[in-house]
Each structure stands twice: as C-alpha cells, then as structure tokens.
Chain A
Amino acid sequence: MPADLKKNPELSPEDRERIAQSGIDMISMGTKCGVYFQMNQEVVQAACHEEGIEVLSIGDALKKYPYLEKYIWNLVPKDKDEYTRYVAEVQEPKGYVIIARKGTSNILPIQACLYLGREQIQHVHNIIIAEEGAELHIISGCASGRHVGRGGAHYGISEFYVGKNAKISFTMIHTWGEEIDVFPRSAARVEENGVFLSNYVCMQPVHKIQMYPTAQLVGKNAVARFSSIVIGYPGSLLDLGSRAILAAPGTSAELITRAITRGGTIISRGHIRGETEGTRGHLECKGLILKDGTIYAIPEIEGVVVGTELSHEAAVGKIAREEIEYLMARGLDEETATATIIRGFLDVKIEGLPPALQKQIDTAVDAAEKGF
C-alpha cells in the first residue's frame, strides 16, 4: 500500500486533474486530514490523523469493531434492488468506515476518493457514524479516467448515522466518464438535534446516474438538507432524487436542486413525508434547459398529520432574454452574460458547511462554467 499518493505511477496527470475536480487534494491527502483512497477495488490508503476520528477500510473496521455488523445493511435493505444485492453478495466488501467519536469535530474535511481506472464494476459499502455531539465533514470525490469505456460502473452503498446533537456534512462531487453507470444507494438516520447535510455536484458528462438517498429524521428537532447541482450533457441520464421522512416533532428538511441540461435527460425527484406534528419541509427544483434535453421534475410532498407544513416549488425554463440583455447593457458580450447568469443560477450557498467545502463546490461549478 503506497503511503505517498503523490508518486503513484498509475495516475496520469489527466487522471489527477479529474480527481482534483472532484474536490480531492492529493497533495495534502494523508498528511493534513483523514483519507480513504480506493482505486478500482484496491484500497490504496485509509488513515486519519485527527484525534477521535477513525477512517478504516470496511474489512479492517469489521475485524476491529465487530459491533459494526449491526450498522451494516441496517438503513439500506440488502434486497432493495439488483445493485444492493450485487454488493451484498461480494465476498470481500470494499469501502470505508468513518467514525467520529463522541464530542469530536474535524475542521478539515476527510477526503474519500473512489477512482475507477478501467472497465469493471467498482463497488463500495460505506458506514459513516457521528456519535453524540460529534461534527464530521467529508468530501467524497468520485472520478474515473476519461477513457474508461462501457462496462465501467460504480455501485456504492452508504449508511449514515447522525447521533444526538451530532452533525455530518457529506459533499459528493462526481467526475465520472461519459460511459460510466453509477448507482449510489444511500440512507441516513438522524437523531435528536442532529444535522445531516448532503451536497451533490455533478458538472461533468456521465452515462447514467441513478440515486434516491433517504434521510429518516427520528429524533426531535433533527434537520436534513439535500442540495444538488447538476448538469446533463448529450447522452447523459441523471435520475436523481432525495427523500426526507419527518418522523419526530420539530424535525425539518430542505431539498434543493439546480439542474441544467445541455442535451441530456435529468429527472429530478424529491419526496418529503411529514409524519409528525410540528414538522416542516420544503422542496425546490429549478431547471434550465440550455439546449435540447429534458428536465423532468417530480416533487412530492406528503403530509399525513395535522401540524406538518410542507411546500414545494419547481420551475423549468430558459434564461430570460431580458436578463441577458441587462448584462449586455453593462458591457458583457452575450456569451459572458449567459455564463454569468448560469453561474448565479448554480450558486447554492449551503448553511453550516465549512468554507473549505463550499470552496470545493464553487470550484467544481466554476470548472464547468467555461463550457456554458
């Protein structure tokens, strides 16, 4: 296992660039903060220098802490679909376990990089636990080599446990290739006063992504926020959703999506279920069709008791001509005016996110701006 990723000969400069686009800083990796690096099915590195936070491969974690068995396949059912069944049946599971012990917090986010370099199925099973009062920030950079062809796929199971008064922010930036199929299967359980922030950015072409992470807010005043910023390119199918179950008094959820298509199909789903009184939820999907393509927004809000307040807002359209001309009147040419408006459209500031992570999101969005 090479400790120094900087010298890893299997990564070309282009591959490194794609990993960097996914928010992973390979220079600081393994020195400044916690790291998990998986290349295809090989765990290259799993370590953490932060006191009270552990980053382990799932194999090592299960040996070290047998009690973790009860956290596996607990939130995501094994037989949910063909992808979960596939991962459940593998003999040697790969993936990471990150545990933030009671009361700890990490200032620099833990970097988890899942890199696919050839035509195969990469599968992971991740368990993320923030114990009572802990604050845990993770950036998950998922990337593949640009030339990885058909047959390259990623199946990822992630189960998040947010303890009482704890917080997890999970920022996932995808830089897959044009032929890759991706099937994340994620679920979170959030206890009293816990906060779960899930941020998803996909600015680069991919063949197919399908995911519908769910947060169950089971403790009083628990909060979930899902934010997604995605671009669909010709040939891409992005079938994305997020779901929050408001199962305890005072819980609240916010599901925000900004979607742009330049020719691909984006299905933006969302579901908030208010099961208890004194709960609030808001779902917002804004879509821009720049060129051909389809944006299909399916917002669902489901209230089953008196005293749950749910709302949704969905809009799909084009950039208004008057907005472009307004900026042109200030001296910007049409192309710059359009890019400036799109950049604004994609600018989602996420409350509670450390500046370093917000910067990674902004950088990923900026990288796509050149192509608008």
Chain B
Amino acid sequence: MLEIDDLHVTVGDREILHDINLQIGDGETHVLLGPNGSGKSSLLMTIMGFANFVVTSGTIRFNGEDITGLPVHERASRGLGIMFQRPPTISGLKLGKLLEVTSGDHSKEVQEYALYMHMDKFLERDVNKGFSGGEIKRSEVLQLLVQNPSFVMLDEPESGVDLENISLIGHAIEKLLQKDIHLKSRKKSGLVITHTGYILDYLDADRGHVMCDGEIKCHGNPREILKDIQARGYRECMECQQT
C-alpha cells in the first residue's frame, strides 16, 4: 500500500530525515518507535504532504501511484488520514460543522460516531478549543472515523489519555484499522507512533521500526523491540549501524 524509497526531507535548511525506506502492505499495521526529536512525527507529516516538509530526494508511492508531489487534500482523497498529536485550535469553527463538511453531510453517521466517541456534546464547540488531552484524542479519532481513510497514521494516540479513555480510543483504532475483521479481508493499513506501547494491546502490530536521528535504524517484531527499549533504552539503537 505504502512504499517509501530513499527519502530525504528538509525543514528550512536542515535535513531532518535521511534515506528512509519503508514498505507497508495492505492490511498491515506498523509501529514507529524512537526517542523524542528523532523524526517520527516528521515522517508522518511528510507522508501527509505538509508544506514545511520538503522532499529533496526519494519517492512516496501509495497504491502504486507516486504521491510525492501531491497536495495534502489530494492525498487525503486517495485514502491517507492522520491523527495529529497537537492539532491546532480553530476558533469559531464548530467540530460538528467540520465533520459535516468532511463527511459530505452524512449527519446520521456523524451523530453515531460522535456518540460512540463520547463527543456528542462537543459538536457545538470550537474545534480543539479548551479540549483536554483525552478530548483532543477522541476528537481526532472521531474525525478519522468520519473520514474513513484506508491508510491511517497515528501520532502517539495514547499520550495524555487516562485509562478509561485509552480503552475507548484503542477500540476505535481497532475499528479504524479493521482489526475487528478477519485478517484475509482486512484492507486498511496503519503507521503508529507510540512511546509507551499501551496501544499495542489493541493493535497487534505486524512490524516495528526504530527511528534515531532521522534514520530508521532497525526493523523487527514490535513487541520485542519495545521490550528491548524498555529494558535498555535507545542508547544501543542510536549507536547501531543501519541494517
């Protein structure tokens, strides 16, 4: 579904991602681990096509199509979706109105998902204005449920979320990634940034990648990598030569 080849990305004058190679197949969920500032969020932003992240070489292909130069909304319309870690507040724009615009006015579906995410009382509130950490995550997941992307990028879905909400968000993400249907019919794929690994209780990720200093240093079983990092930290990863 997603293929990234030899990708180099700069922000301003600085190269922040170096020689990234990544393949994510249909129905697969991959996890991206790495210390703060290693470039994980930047990779997601680059895949989504945000203007600050300039691809200097390499390609991003989605379902066989080179999307490296496509604007953000074109990528969204092809099936890419992203859950923001720190989304902006949009004063005056009601969450319900945003969902109405993005859903093409499927108001029944919006209402159902809003109830499911316990966000029905937020539809008349300005997008992200005064939302707590957990409310922001629920709002992001709600927007993704309405958008229904085929490739889902999640940037630390569990950060700032209490235990009660993590189960709700976890189950919703399961749904987003079709983890509730049989492996063979599963089409949706995902790339998930996590620090704690709590979200893995809901995801059963297929593969993990460790990022350090803007490079992917290793790949492997996500739980094993996480266990390793929990035991020994990222020091060894940072010293590791790329495989």
Contact = CB atoms under 8 A, between A and B. Distances in A.
Interface in B24-56: 48, 50-52
Given A320-B88, A323-B88, A334-B71, A344 B94 contact: yes
Contacts of B50: 325
Contacts of B93: 340-341, 343-344, 347
Interface stretch (B6-14, B76-84, B204-212, B220-228): B76-84
A325 B101 contact: no
A327 B147 contact: no
A340 B101 contact: yes
Interface residues of A, number: 24
Given A325-B51, A345-B91, A330 B147 contact: yes
Contacts of B71: 328, 333-334
A332 B73 CA distance: 6
B98 A346 contact: no
A327 B98 contact: yes
Contact of A329 (B48, B52, B90): B48
Interface string A298-341: 00000000000000000000001111011111111110110011
25 contacts: A321-B52, A322-B88, A323-B88, A323-B90, A325-B50, A325-B51, A325-B72, A326-B87, A328-B71, A328-B73, A329-B73, A329-B81, A330-B76, A330-B143, A332-B101, A332-B102, A334-B71, A341-B90, A343-B92, A343-B93, A344-B91, A344-B93, A344-B97, A344-B126, A347-B92
Contact of B90 (A321, A326, A328, A346): A326
Given A336-B101, A344-B93, 7 more contacts: A325-B50, A325-B72, A326-B84, A333-B71, A333-B73, A334-B73, A344-B92
A330 B102 contact: yes
Contacts of B101: 332, 336, 340
A322 to B, nearest CB: 5
B92 A329 contact: no
Nearest to A342: B92
Contacts of B102: 330-332
Interface of B: 48, 50-52, 71-73, 76-77, 81-82, 84, 87-88, 90-94, 97-98, 101-102, 126-127, 143, 147
A333 B82 CA distance: 16
Contacts of B77: 331
Contacts of B143: 330
A321 B51 contact: yes
In the A-B complex, the 5 residue pairs with the closest CB atoms: A344-B93, A344-B92, A328-B72, A331-B76, A328-B73
A331 B72 CA distance: 8
A274 B159 CA distance: 46
A327 B102 CA distance: 9
A321 to B, nearest CB: 7
Interface hub of B51, B73, B87, B94 (most chain A Cβ within 10 A): B73
Interface hub of B72, B84, B93, B147 (most chain A Cβ within 10 A): B72
Contacts of B127: 344
Given A340-B98, A344-B126, A331 B92 contact: no
A331 B90 contact: no
Nearest to B147: A330
Interface string A107-129: 00000000000000000000000
A334 B77 CA distance: 13
Contacts of B88: 320, 322-323, 326
